[in-house]
Amino acid sequence: MAAEVIKTVKSSGGDYTSLSAWEAGEQGDLPTLDEIHIAECYNFEDTVTVLLSGWTTDATRYIEIRTPASERHDGTPGTGYRLAVSSYAIRTYEDYVRIYGIEASMPSQNNYLMYIHTAAAGEIRVAYCLLHGGARGIDDRSGGSGHYFYNNIIFDCLQGIVSNGSNSTYIYNNTIVDAERGLYMLGTATNKIAKNNLVDNPSIEAYAGVFDPTSDYNASSTSDTTGGANDRASQTFTFANAAGNDYHLASNDAGAKDYGVSDPGSGLFSDDIDGDTRSGSWDIGADEYVSGGPTIFPDMWHPKTESPYPEKIEVVGY
């Protein structure tokens, strides 16, 4: 089993003072080293664009960028580690990359926040992230066979998630608000699968382009959908505090609560953007409504491949 090499990214007192510096310092041939390289990002504003290039990776020796739970956003801006940049947040030309739980933003919609451009068949995951202000929240123009985007909140971008390549793309349980287009699928229709996504207030289209016929259980405030039999068009969504950019579902939401399909990714994940366990009929979007507010785990949780930590700290008065 590959060894994990974990380095901290902090404003001071860590291994690196920017995620970009970590990338430059740790770049290497991970299969030869038999290592997984992990950047743990702590709560501060990082202003340097990150370029992932020049690595060698494979399915078991990969790159992971994540935040410990105590250092990550709470679903609203400015509450955890954040990449605040003028052009691009993270660009990756590498396969086998996982990005969990960061905030990324730019002051104007002039470029992409997550730009993914790979040629091989390596898996990419972007999950639990808060993305806002870019031309595109996630722009994926890759080959490959498994790119997974789930449990992200994306708002105030021209386009939420764009897939413009031959890769198989799996888009689950994202919340996208105030974009021109929510999900924009280009390329082959039979490998762009969307389930349990919520798109609110798009100025052009909620779901644009071509979707795999298995796409379903997506919701929109407009009349367009992915075409699934259980898609929900023309819905009104109620958020905790939309004026404050808090897009957790409110207790009285009638557009997304309990209308999703359970486990759309067949074991890929079983929680929401806050780490709350999903149960019953899943809620559509990145947030699973729980009474009393979201739960914070005492350490970083991972997708379904690893069990979440059993001890939880309840947030009171959320």
Look up residue 300 and give its amino acid: M
| pLDDT (0 to 100) of residue 243 | 97
State the residue for tokens 């003028």.
86
Q: What is d(CA 283, CA 55) in angstroms, rounded to the nearest whole number?
A: 38
Largest CA distance in the chain: 53
**Does residue 36 sit within a domain?**
yes
| pLDDT (0 to 100) of residue 188 | 65
Q: Which domain holds residue 37?
A: 3-227
Here the tokens at position 243 are 């004026």
| pLDDT (0 to 100) of residue 119 | 72
| pLDDT (0 to 100) of residue 318 | 29
Q: What is the CATH number of the domain that holds 167?
A: 2.160.20.10
Checking DSSP bridges between strand 181-186 and strand 159-164, what pairing results, if any?
A: parallel
| pLDDT (0 to 100) of residue 118 | 84
Domain count, the chain: 1
Q: What is the pLDDT of residues 67-114, one digit of tens each?
A: 999 999 999 999 999 999 998 999 999 999 999 999 999 998 889 999
CB 219 within 8 A of CB 231: yes
Closest CA to 227 of 242, 246, 208, 244: 208
CB 5 within 8 A of CB 37: yes
| pLDDT (0 to 100) of residue 136 | 96
Q: What is d(CA 285, CA 273) in angstroms, rounded to the nearest whole number?
A: 9
Q: What is d(CA 17, CA 251) in angstroms, rounded to the nearest whole number?
A: 40
| pLDDT (0 to 100) of residue 307 | 32
| pLDDT (0 to 100) of residue 144 | 67
Residues of the chain with pLDDT under 50: 297-318
| pLDDT (0 to 100) of residue 165 | 75
**Does residue 215 sit within a domain?**
yes
**Does residue 207 sit within a domain?**
yes
State the residue for tokens 């995620």.
19
CB 83 within 8 A of CB 58: no
**Does residue 243 sit within a domain?**
no
| pLDDT (0 to 100) of residue 166 | 73
**Does residue 139 sit within a domain?**
yes
Angle (CA) 177 164 28, round 5° = 100
**Does residue 317 sit within a domain?**
no
**Does residue 274 sit within a domain?**
no
CB 189 within 8 A of CB 164: no
**Does residue 284 sit within a domain?**
no
Contacts of 299 (CB under 8 A, 6+ apart): 68, 69, 309
What dihedral angle (degrees, nearest 10) is formed by the CA atoms of 305, 306, 312, 314? -30
| pLDDT (0 to 100) of residue 300 | 41
